[in-house]
């Protein structure tokens, strides 16, 4: 299967996807840093909730793109 479209655009899309996929991990690092250096518990709780919501959104987004492009045909359950 050959890639379709402009090679430079595909590389830029790949770099953007790498950053987007890594963002929940970066957010988790920020949460850990703030938990160690912050005395305010509410800031920590709000950051954890935002991190969970962001991670769920990224998972949903990739599932939606995966199903929209039909990269894999539905296989019957065995």
What are the extents of the domains in the chain? 7-69
For the chain, the average pLDDT equals 79
Question: What is the DSSP annotation of 7-75?
Answer: HHHHHHHHHHHHHHHHHHHHHHHHHHHHHHH---HHHHHHHHHHHHHHHHHHHHHHHHHHHHHT-SPPP
Instruction: For residues 11-29, give the mean pLDDT.
Output: 85
43 CB contacts (<8 Å, ≥6 apart)?
Answer: 34
Region 4-28 average pLDDT: 83
Q: What is residue 75's predicted lDDT score, i.e. its pLDDT?
A: 64
Q: What is the pLDDT of residues 28-41, one digit of tens each?
A: 888 888 778 877 77
Residues 6+ apart with CB under 8 A from 49: none
């Amino acid at each position: 299967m050959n890639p379709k479209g402009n090679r430079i655009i595909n590389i830029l899309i790949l770099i953007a996807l790498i950053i987007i996929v890594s963002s929940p991990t970066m957010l988790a690092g920020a949460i850990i840093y703030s938990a160690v250096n912050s005395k305010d518990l509410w800031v920590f709780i709000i950051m954890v909730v935002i991190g969970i919501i962001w991670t769920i959104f990224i998972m949903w987004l990739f599932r939606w793109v995966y199903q929209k492009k039909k990269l894999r045909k539905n296989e019957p359950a065995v």
